[in-house]
A and B are shown apart, each in its own frame.
Chain A
Amino acid sequence: MPTNQGYLIPAIGDIYVKCANKLADSIRQWHPEVNITILTEDMLPYGKFSGFANDWQCYDASPYEQTIKLEADMLCASPIDHYWNLFANREVVISKGCRDFYDKPGKSRYYRKIFDNNNLPDMYNAITYWQKGDTAKEFFQLVKNIFEKWEDYKSILKFPDPIPTTDVVYGIAAVILGEENVTLPDNLAPTIVHMKKHIIGTIDEDWTKELILEYTDPGIRINTVAQWGLVHYHIKELANE
């Protein structure tokens, strides 16, 4: 892997550091030679802000010319090195939409009401690529601006959250920059497996109480089904295993 490419995993807080290490281990099972940086609180170039409002710092914090930022509470279930080829001709790519553990597109809009109410693109910051340059810089400046001026942005949104999530902020930034400039066409870009109750149909929000998770070294299966790409397990306690 070129030294100017790498994965960046933000991990603010102890549990996220555990998650990030678990994700890094799972990536290295497939790609032992890759560059991975776990971005901890002490590495934030401008210090820690409250909530999710540190995301904009990833641009300056990344030591790579080309970065794939990954959310910490995920596992890498198959090779992902083709992402670099997919993203290479774009300056910023944010993943859009999600899948269930059968690899089918997630249908439930339960968690995405604010996106639908405001016609925001269905962004998932869980997989975000950029290469250093004007577009990525502008994107992260916008992200910063939206976090800092959330009270203003809130006033133009229908049913806004009191505290902005990174996905919503990315969605607004994408609208401002032009969705086509920060996404790949549908069905081309990678999407995460989203292990949330309303996507996968579990009874309990903690799916690990109902479904069988197997580590196949490398890879994982969920209820006997082999997983592909990145699996957002979201139950942080898994990182303690």
Chain B
Amino acid sequence: MTSGVLIFAFNNEHIDYLAMANWSAKNIRRHLQLPVAVVTDQIVPTDYYFEQVIPAKPYNGDIRKFADQENNVTWYNGNRIDAYKLSPWAQTLVLDADYVVASNELKKVIVMKENFVAHKTAYDVVNQDNFDELNNFGHYNMPMWWATVMMFRRSSEAKLIFDSMSMIKNNWQHYKDLYNAIHPTYRNDFALSIALNTVNGHTLNHTSIPWGLASLTPAHKLSQISEDNYRIDFLTPDRKPRYITLSQDFHAMGKKHLGDLIAN
């Protein structure tokens, strides 16, 4: 059976997702020994390396404000629903371009027997922000799965999940109203959560990755100490500067800091 990683990389005015994907691919090969396919509309520079390049046009982007970006950016996140169709692998690990692989912990996901898994909860690595709102969505706090890391095997179950996500995206106005989504922007996390509820007989019972998604919010500063060691600088609620060091995988929600780190 072939296994590999799939990364979507559609650049916008300010964020070079393709560069992030290239940087991440090196970490992935080093820690997970898996090939990487990138889905992009860019011409891949000759000094970048991916085992496969899958050309695709981004669906219409949404305008989104990230706390670490001065201006609103166009956010091309709609293509994730095509992961099942586009992946060249029998078993695929879909990773956000801004998911930092700093360990081999995702090997534990690769050996899971399930046809589809994702994270059910995320948490703030510096324990400053309460993620209750981020771990649920809509006015009625529908429990949320995160589409940041998804592992799927070619199977009718996984296909049904992606088909459902596609249906939800194509009828987003309906689902937005149904769940009273406060932010109008479509998000893969929302579509995934609704799809998993639906596919599991409306029970919200689906096996998830058995640990939380370590997350770094845009308000905190990320820097690299050494190859797999990072430093997070943050302010406590009483404005005292503190930092921690990290040597684990994490989701860099602040794209600018990660982008700067990769560019340098």
A residues at B contact (CB < 8 Å): 102-104, 200-203, 210-212, 221, 223-226
| Chain A residues with CB below 8 A from B140, complex form | 200-202, 210-211, 223
- Is A226 in contact with B202, judged by CB distance below 8 angstroms? yes
Q: List 10 A-B contacts (CB under 8 A).
A: A102-B142, A102-B143, A103-B204, A104-B143, A223-B140, A223-B178, A223-B179, A224-B202, A225-B202, A226-B202
| Residues 131 to 145 of chain B near chain A (Cβ within 8 Å) | 139-143
Closest-CB distance, A219 to chain B (whole angstroms): 10
| Chain A residues with CB below 8 A from B201, complex form | 226
| Chain B residues with CB below 8 A from A104, complex form | 143
Q: Does B180 contact A (CB under 8 A)?
A: yes
Given A102-B141, A203-B139, A223-B140, A212–B178 Cβ distance below 8 Å? Answer: yes
| Chain A residues with CB below 8 A from B202, complex form | 221, 224-226
- Is B203 in contact with A224, judged by CB distance below 8 angstroms? no
Closest-CB distance, B106 to chain A (whole angstroms): 28
B141, B180, B194, B202 — most chain A CB neighbours (10 Å): B202
Given A102-B204, A221-B202, A201–B179 Cβ distance below 8 Å? Answer: no
| Residues 197 to 212 of chain B near chain A (Cβ within 8 Å) | 197-198, 201-204
Give 19 new A-B contacts, CB below 8 A, not counting A102-B141, A225-B197: A102-B142, A102-B143, A200-B140, A201-B139, A201-B140, A201-B141, A210-B140, A211-B140, A212-B178, A221-B202, A223-B142, A223-B179, A224-B194, A224-B197, A224-B202, A225-B202, A225-B204, A226-B201, A226-B202
Q: Bound state CA distance, A223 and B174, in angstroms? A: 12
Q: Bound state CA distance, A103 and B204, in angstroms? A: 9
Q: Bound state CA distance, A237 and B211, in angstroms? A: 44
Closest-by-CB residue of A relative to B140 is A201
Q: Bound state CA distance, A200 and B197, in angstroms? A: 18
Closest-by-CB residue of B relative to A101 is B140
A103, A104, A212, A223 — most chain B CB neighbours (10 Å): A223
| Chain B residues with CB below 8 A from A212, complex form | 178
B140, B141, B143, B198 — most chain A CB neighbours (10 Å): B140
- Is A210 in contact with B180, judged by CB distance below 8 angstroms? yes
| Chain A residues with CB below 8 A from B194, complex form | 224
A200, A201, A221, A224 — most chain B CB neighbours (10 Å): A224
| Chain B residues with CB below 8 A from A224, complex form | 178, 194, 197-198, 202
Q: Bound state CA distance, A82 and B38, in angstroms? A: 51
Q: Bound state CA distance, A102 and B143, in angstroms? A: 8
Closest-CB distance, B72 to chain A (whole angstroms): 29
Q: Bound state CA distance, A200 and B141, in angstroms? A: 8
Q: Bound state CA distance, A224 and B202, in angstroms? A: 6
| Chain B residues with CB below 8 A from A226, complex form | 201-203
Closest-CB distance, B253 to chain A (whole angstroms): 25
Q: Bound state CA distance, A118 and B204, in angstroms? A: 36
- 6 closest pairs, A vs B, by CB? A226-B202, A226-B203, A201-B140, A221-B202, A224-B202, A102-B143
| Chain A residues with CB below 8 A from B139, complex form | 201, 203
Q: Bound state CA distance, A221 and B202, in angstroms? A: 8
| Chain A residues with CB below 8 A from B203, complex form | 225-226
Closest-CB distance, B139 to chain A (whole angstroms): 7
Q: Bound state CA distance, A211 and B198, in angstroms? A: 17
Q: Bound state CA distance, A201 and B133, in angstroms? A: 13
| Chain A residues with CB below 8 A from B179, complex form | 223
A103, A210, A221, A226 — most chain B CB neighbours (10 Å): A226
Q: Mark B151-190, 1 if CB is under 8 A from A, else 0.
A: 0000000000000000000000000001110000000000
Closest-CB distance, A184 to chain B (whole angstroms): 23
Closest-CB distance, B232 to chain A (whole angstroms): 30
Q: Bound state CA distance, A225 and B141, in angstroms? A: 12
